[in-house]
């Protein structure tokens, strides 16, 4: 199968991928300008930009581009390898353009209850493809989940392999009980997610986090979980909570802190008034 046939297949299946193209080379390089490499969301590749450490960095950057949705033009050289504390191999200098493509960011709602139902339409409007996963039969939920791209019923939240989640996905843990919240959170900890958020209050997180510590997860890993979930916008209704949750995911996607845009520009607008 050619590279372009693979791309057509990925587009048809709604899969996320990135295309890396060598746009310039300096000196003698294994591959010439115009060479392309396809990077899948699991890090596997089709084609090559020359192998070695430089190609590994291209793959890592491509995965980041898939998470953020941003393109990247970057020079890969022996100096870049050294900056990564790696020992340069036969790396030559090449400029590579990385372009993410395919489906939009994938959100998995672990639980199909009221919170998931409120988040779902907002997440769709924000450009996420949404998969709803639950142990319950959701046929009785009416049209509440109609906008979901996929609904998957599983036997236990300890195993969500039926959803085939890819690296860089977004997860919201909002199941029907504290026990299943703990199971769901444990199931996604090793999936290299772009975002993991969990609904609830402090008294709920403490025992769940303690269970994860017992399984070997560090405090540094646990601090990556967005719990309590959502930006602090002050709203308490279900729809207001959903707005804060989707806003937080967008801030993570674009590498922002989620503060007021006004504050970012205030110094430029009022240079004599802001200390």
Alpha-carbon dihedral sign for residues 150, 244, 241, 239: negative
Do 78 and 118 sit in the same domain of this protein? no
How many domains, the chain?
2
> Which of 67, 102, 137 is the last residue before a domain boundary?
102
Do 117 and 248 sit in the same domain of this protein? yes
Do 65 and 151 sit in the same domain of this protein? no
> Which of 102, 132, 163 is the last residue before a domain boundary?
102
Q: Which residue has the tokens 């709803």?
A: 132
Assess if residue 180 is contained within a domain.
yes
Give the burial class of 85: count Cβ atoms within 10 A of its Cβ; 0-12 exposed, 13-18 middle, 19 or more buried. Answer: exposed
Do 117 and 62 sit in the same domain of this protein? no
Assess if residue 263 is contained within a domain.
no
Q: Which one-letter DSSP state was computed for residue 223?
A: T
Do 56 and 192 sit in the same domain of this protein? no
Assess if residue 95 is contained within a domain.
yes
Range of the domain at 54: 3-102
Do 78 and 133 sit in the same domain of this protein? no
Do 83 and 169 sit in the same domain of this protein? no
Residue 108's contacts (CB-CB under 8 Å, 6 or more residues apart) are: 130, 131, 132, 133, 160, 163, 165, 169, 170, 171, 172, 188
Do 247 and 170 sit in the same domain of this protein? yes
Do 240 and 110 sit in the same domain of this protein? yes
Do 40 and 173 sit in the same domain of this protein? no
Say whether the peptide bond before residue 248 is cis (omega within 30 degrees of 0): no
For 48-156, strand residue ranges (E) read 72-76, 93-102, 106-110, 129-134, 150-153
Average pLDDT over residues 101-118: 88
Query: 28-37, 64-73, 172-181: which range is least confident on average?
Result: 64-73
CATH of the domain at 226: 3.40.50.720
Average pLDDT over residues 85-90: 53
What long-range pairs does 261-270 form, CB within 8 A, spacing at least 24? Answer: none
pTM above 0.85, yes or no: no
pLDDT at 228: 92
pLDDT at 101: 84
Assess if residue 151 is contained within a domain.
yes
Q: Which residue has the tokens 């240079």?
A: 271
Assess if residue 259 is contained within a domain.
no
On average, the pLDDT of the chain sits at: 87
Do 61 and 134 sit in the same domain of this protein? no
pLDDT digits (tens, 9 = 90+) for 188-247: 999 889 899 999 888 888 999 999 999 999 999 999 999 999 999 998 899 999 999 999
Do 138 and 75 sit in the same domain of this protein? no
Assess if residue 238 is contained within a domain.
yes
């Amino acid at each position: 199968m050619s590279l372009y046939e693979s791309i057509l297949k990925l587009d048809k299946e709604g899969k996320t991928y990135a295309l890396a193209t060598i746009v310039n080379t300096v000196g003698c390089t294994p591959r010439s300008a115009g060479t392309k490499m396809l990077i899948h969301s699991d890090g596997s590749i089709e084609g090559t930009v020359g192998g070695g450490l430089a190609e590994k960095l291209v793959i890592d950057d491509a995965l980041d581009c898939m998470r953020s949705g941003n393109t990247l033009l970057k020079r890969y050289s022996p100096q870049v390898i050294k900056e990564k504390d790696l020992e340069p191999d036969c790396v030559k200098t090449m400029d590579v353009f990385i372009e993410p493509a395919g489906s939009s960011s994938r959100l998995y709602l672990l639980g199909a209850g009221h919170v998931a139902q409120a988040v779902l339409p907002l997440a769709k409007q924000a450009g996420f493809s949404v998969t709803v996963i639950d142990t319950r039969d959701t046929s009785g939920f009416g049209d509440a989940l109609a906008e979901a791209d996929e609904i998957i019923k599983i036997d236990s939240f300890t195993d969500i392999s039926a959803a085939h989640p890819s690296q860089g996905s977004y997860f919201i843990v909002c199941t029907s009980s504290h026990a299943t919240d703990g199971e769901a959170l444990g199931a996604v900890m090793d999936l290299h997610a772009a975002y993991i958020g969990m609904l609830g209050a402090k008294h709920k997180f403490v025992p769940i986090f303690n269970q994860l510590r017992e399984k070997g997860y560090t405090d540094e890993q646990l601090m990556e979980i967005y719990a309590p979930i959502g930006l602090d916008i002050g709203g308490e209704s279900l729809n207001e909570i959903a707005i804060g949750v989707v806003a937080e995911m967008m801030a993570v996607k674009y590498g922002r802190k989620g503060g007021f845009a006004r504050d970012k520009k205030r110094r430029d607008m009022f240079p004599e008034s802001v200390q």
